[in-house]
Amino acid sequence: MLLVASIVLGPLGYVFYLLYLNYNHVYKKIQSMHKPVMIGNTPECQDRITLEKVSGQLPSWLNGVMYRVGPGVFNIKQKNGITYTIRHAFDGLPMVHRFQLNGSTQTITYNSRHTAKSLEKEISSGADKGLVFFGHVPEVSFLTWLINWIVRLNNLILRPKPIHLTKPDGKSVGVTVTPNYTLPAGVSMNNGLSKKSLVAKTDANVLQKLHAETLVPELVFSYKDYDPHLNGPFSAAHHQFDPETNELFNFSLHLFPKPKMTVFKTSKEGQTTLLAEITHRKSDHSEFRASYIHSFYLTKNYVIIPESPLVYGDQGLNALLQGAVLSSMRWIDQAPLYFHVIHRNEGGLVASIPAPAFYTFHVANAFEEVSLDGDLLLHLDSSAFSDGDIIYQVRNFGGTFLQDDLSLKRTKFNGFTFPPFQQTSFGHLTRHTLNLNQHTAVFAHILAENIEFPRFHQELIGKPYRFVYGCRIIHDKRSTGLAKVDVSNQSVIQHQESGYEYSEPIFIPHPQAKSEDDGVLLSLANHTECCYLVILNAIDMKELARFKIGQFTAITFHGSFVDYAFKSINLN
């Protein structure tokens, strides 16, 4: 009947009919992929408090500040009395946590802040129709969906608002938080900003400067403020950083009219250099696919960016229609991954090396080695997933472990398993070795199974190293523990507690360290309704101390640590 009506109404009616089909076959399908146990809001603590020590002792040398960031607000009361519930863990409005550790006095002080309050007010007032989330799609009628699309079309394409006019807390920026992040010259000279640089980042081309002590949002900006060519809508939440040169590296990604990635570096003085513009692969000059890139690799001489088969398959059209970036993603079966190798000093795309497909959220370290035959080898370590299903399995990250209904009939939707299985394992910590002389992938070697959020000694970035620390799902105990991997012999030491959810560990080396692993790990641990800060001995993975943060669950993705002089010790 609708098709007949559309024919009678002419071209406009046919467009309306196509939109209705998209609503039924794409929007509702994406929506049905997200039915997790809902996560509650985490209360902020703007005034600094002293945490209660539960057990153990802080090492006397452990002095500094840890920042962590993650989703804090999932439920927003609207003016009509209805609660707006965010249904994807990645889309909870962000919250930044600050821990000041003093080993001499055995005290830890804590403060936190929700950093997107203007956006929260926008949602609570009902003026949220132009929003684009990562994976969240609300339950709305076709008419409301159509209105939302028209507003997004106007706000994002027809009359986009310059980012410098956005309120400091008007964007959701909450994946990584980095102290000492080099600011663009125009931003660093802006009057009224605090001197210390603390910057939150996400996979969109938007950054947020925060006050390093109060965590008050001060400014939102983008990589376009570094260079006008860096104006693509996407970037990597995880930049790369060289602690010896103080250079940072990232890219700007365009989807339309054709995929294009611009790779750049910024010096500690704020000078930005464009290293490469990638539209075609170096190997066969085939077209570059715009893929979802959350992190990438750095060695002494090269930036290596993985183009996986997890791609934006429609140049962002469905993201505009549905209001969820995830709706534009596709997993291309049987397609290879390409490692794009860019020279970080001379610039230029050196190679595009094909390899068997995998997807990685998070890389570990990478380094160069000259083989016995004189070939230059690049060793690239990351947590590798065999397909793209993880993109839907993380929808309830940090929530309750659920049992799968194995009686459900599963099919494929955009290359993903539908309905998705519950996540029972992370990817495997895998070393991919490239031969840069021959432009080939030599081999992929699993270093340890079921490892995510890999961290290591910051001073060894781009150098041979031995130890990786990360998270590991312990499914039979319904928990997420911590693991230490010795990449030299693939041995693993594990720290786990039944019912506890540990977050990414941050390695802090002893000031007079006698070995690479001489130091501690900092991690948050959630248990039912209580959150703890836990300090482990990085050598044997045994607990040294535990502090109670509060009667709530605090989900954090990533964190960084600086000493009292605000010197970077381990950044994310």
Residues that constitute the known binding site: 238, 294, 362, 558
Q: Let me know if 426 is exposed, middle or buried by CB neighbors in 10 A (0-12, 13-18, 19+).
A: buried
The SS3 of residue 377 is strand
First-to-last C-alpha distance (Å) of the chain: 55
Handedness of CA 126, 128, 130, 133 (dihedral sign): negative
Strand order in the sheet with 207-210: 176-179, 198-201, 207-210, 217-221
* Contact indicator for 95, 115 with CB cutoff of 8 Å: yes
Give me the residues paired with residue 346 across strands.
none
d(CA 442, CA 453): 25
Beta carbons within 10 angstroms of residue 150's beta carbon: 13
Both tokens of 370, joined, read: 């000259």
The SS3 of residue 509 is strand
* Contact indicator for 252, 232 with CB cutoff of 8 Å: yes
Q: Where are the beta strands (DSSP E) in 487-518?
A: 491-495, 501-502, 506-509
Task: Report DSSP state, residue 27.
Answer: I
Which residues are part of a known binding site for Fe cation? 238, 294, 362, 558
Question: Phi/psi class of residue 5: alpha, beta or left (left: φ > 0; alpha: ψ in -120 to 50)?
Answer: alpha
Strands 107-114 and 49-50: what pairing? antiparallel
Instruction: Compute the CA torsion angle 512, 514, 515, 521 (nearest 10 deg).
Output: -40
Task: Report the run of H or E that residue 118 belongs to, with start and end.
Answer: helix 117-124
How far from 227 is each of 69, 162, 244, CA to CA, in Å? Answer: 27, 15, 24
Strands 297-298 and 272-278: what pairing? unpaired
* Contact indicator for 199, 209 with CB cutoff of 8 Å: yes
* Contact indicator for 240, 298 with CB cutoff of 8 Å: yes
List of residues 6+ apart from 44 with CB closer than 8 A: 72, 95, 112, 113, 114
- The dihedrals phi and psi of 528, each to the nearest 5 degrees, come to 45, -105
Give long-range contacts, CB 8 A cutoff, 24+ apart: 243-249.
243/458, 243/459, 243/461, 243/568, 246/182, 247/344, 248/181, 248/182, 249/275, 249/298, 249/303, 249/344
Both tokens of 183, joined, read: 């600011």
